[in-house]
Structure 1
Amino acid sequence: MKLNKVLSTAAVCAFAALSMTSCSKKENVQAQGPVADATINQIKALGFTVDGARKVEGGVVVEGDILLTNEMLASNPENQLLRVGQDEQYRTTNLVTRLPRTLTVKLVGSFPSAYVSAVDEAIRRYNAENLQLRFTRVTGSTAADLPITSANLGSGVLGQSGGFPSGGNPAPGFKLSPTVINSTNVGYIATIMAHEMGHCIGLRHTDYFNRAYSCGGSASNEGASTVGAILIPGTPSGADPNSWMLACVGNGVSRQFNSNDRIALNYLY
């Protein structure tokens, strides 16, 4: 997730959980640096924009906060015919399975004290929906399904997921950038956490079709992909200005789940 362009640095962000199809030669991405043409073609085949794509350890980050791992870039799952996103709530092809289920969340390393309260608030927001998927915070030496680590993710980038659901399990946690977040506002930090948790369990951005809706700038259409953006029935076909899964968020803004978000969550879990 990124700061809204109007309020801070210009950017868009995205995250996904999906199946991928590509018949092109797969490149193993190892280090920081420019992204090769072969990888650019793979990114397009997976249904993501290549604008701003960059190598990181273990894969490529696209759309600000979506990590496409080397494994993802090398996979060949079956084709899926999907509807292309407009402004509705969208999910990815892969979801967390074996429900009912409780996922553990943990702050790993040093964070300001407000982040402890923010994790609890993000968890409270999900658990208040009485879903079959629940969350709980763990501490100490206990391993977590969703570890949260601190990292410098670049100018304007608030958070970045570690992947997306695979094999019925969630993405393995996410990173936050406290120096960019630069706030002790618990509701705001909880909104960023809940957004990244949403990606980890298979949700794409509400403004998938046009991330300029929340991020500002020119319209950005990810294109007609065959993977990764499935309309959630019952959510609106028009713009939804208060969804917690919008690509960008204004500084200090706390977004609770709105009525359409609740429809999406209850439909999936």
Structure 2
Amino acid sequence: MIRQVTLSLAGCLLAGALFISCQKESNETAQQPEAVSQDVLQAISNKGFSTAGVRKIEGGYLVEGDILLDEEDLASTPTSPNLRIAEVEQYRTNNLVTALPRVITVRVSGLSQAFIDGTDLAISRYNALGLRITFQRVTSGTANITIQGFYQGPSGGFITLGSAGFPTSSGNPYNTIRMNTHPQAYGSNPNVNYVGSVIQHEIGHCIGFRHTDYMNRAYSCGSGGNEGSAGVGAVHIPGTPTGSDAASWMLACSNGGNRTFNANDRVALNYLY
């Protein structure tokens, strides 16, 4: 979520600072979120996710601020155990992208130039790391990941910026990133660094990264708790810190416009890919 510190952003840092990840707080009158049934909440809880702040959106249910669970996800049964629930560290899901080295194609569908440029920025940041997984933006055909828009205003005091899911059991990346085109999400003239940083974060989920502070969202967001093992795993990545990890690109709430990989993020990415 974005926590704001000016009259338009209410937050917990000094004035002029800004938190973001996949949602931002709105001071305008918000529409009431659609009710989520107790059966769905129980299914989400059974998967290991916290049910706090669950929202019904197009295509499924939004948890952890930016993870989209559809009906198939809720009905599935995990086959791998969760290996670690502990401190603030780098975490991955049980499923990762396989068949490496591999080029993952990304297509932007129906979005403005700022989202295209933001995608190119995110891709360039990943490709600069020299990993066995690289990304290529394509303009036609079926891509491995499609970035598409949705239009949704504030709900329950927050507005969603983007969402994604985790890799499949067959070793493919999650195939969709959804970016909000509502003007209260990125404004009428979206900042490319801001958009690109959110896309970079969502790609991280698509290839198997949990939030760095999944066990305590309050670390980066100022409030919230453990996001749960979610049935997808929260596996510590060797070589990453066992203490707090400031400025990670996978923190649940990051710092405004231009967040990229820190040193520990690069260690984690190089270890996995």
TM-score normalized by structure 2? 0.82
Which residue does the alignment assign to 2:38? Answer: 37
CA contact (8 A) 1:4 1:250 kept: no
The residue type paired with residue 164 of structure 1 is F
Letter of the 1:144 counterpart? A
**Contact 1:244 1:261 (8 Å CA) reproduced:** yes
Change (3 A) 1:42 1:105: same
1:149 CA drift (Å): 0.9
Task: Return the offset for 1:120.
Answer: 1.2
Stretches of structure 1 that go unaligned for 5 or more consecutive residues are: 15-31
Task: Provide structure 2 residue ranges, at least 5 long, that are not aligned to the other structure.
Answer: 12-18, 23-32
Task: Tell me whether 1:151 sits opposite 2:153 in the alignment.
Answer: no
The alignment yields a C-alpha RMSD, in angstroms, of 2.3
| Bigger mean CA offset, 73-82 vs 185-194 | 73-82
Amino acid corresponding to residue 165 of structure 1 in structure 2: P
The aligned counterpart of 1:21 is none
Corresponding letter in the other structure for 1:132:
R
TM-fit CA distance, 1:151:
1.2
Matched, 1:197 2:198: no
Give the corresponding residue for 1:55.
56
Q: Post-superposition shift, 1:224?
A: 6.3
Q: How far 1:173 moved relative to its partner?
A: 1.8
Secondary structure class of the residue paired with 1:3: coil
Q: CA deviation at 1:214?
A: 1.5
Q: CA deviation at 1:145?
A: 1.2
Which residue pairs with 1:4 in the alignment?
A: 3
- Give the counterpart letter for 2:119 in structure 1: V
Query: How far off is 1:154 after superposition?
Result: 4.2
Kindly report which structure 2 residues correspond to 1:9-88, keeping only aligned pairs within 5 A, or say none.
33-88=34-89
Aligned to 1:104, the other structure's residue is in SS state: strand
Question: Is 1:258 matched up with 2:262?
Answer: yes
Letter in 2 for 1:238: G
Structure 2 counterpart of 1:176, from 176, 179, 196: 179
Where 1:249 maps in the other structure, the secondary structure is: coil
Give the Cα–Cα distance (whole angstroms) in 1 for the partners of residues 135 and 190 of structure 2: 23
Distance 1:119 1:107, change over 3 A: same
- Corresponding residue of 1:97: 98
Q: CA deviation at 1:85?
A: 4.1
Residue of structure 2 in register with 1:27 after alignment: none
CA separation in 1, counterparts of 2:177 and 2:247?
23
Q: What TM-score do the two structures reach when normalised by structure 1? A: 0.83
Distance 1:82 1:143, change over 3 A: same
Shift of 1:249: 2.7
1:94-133 superposed Cα distances (whole Å, 9 cap, x missing partner): 111111111111110031x232222111111101111111
- Alignment partner, residue 239 of structure 1: 244
Residue in 1 aligned with 2:27?
none
Structure 1 position 223, deviation (Å): 4.4
Corresponding pairs, count: 246
Partner Cα distance (1:12, 1:52) in 2: 16
Letter in 1 for 2:269: L
Greater RCO (CA < 8 Å, at least 6 residues apart): 1
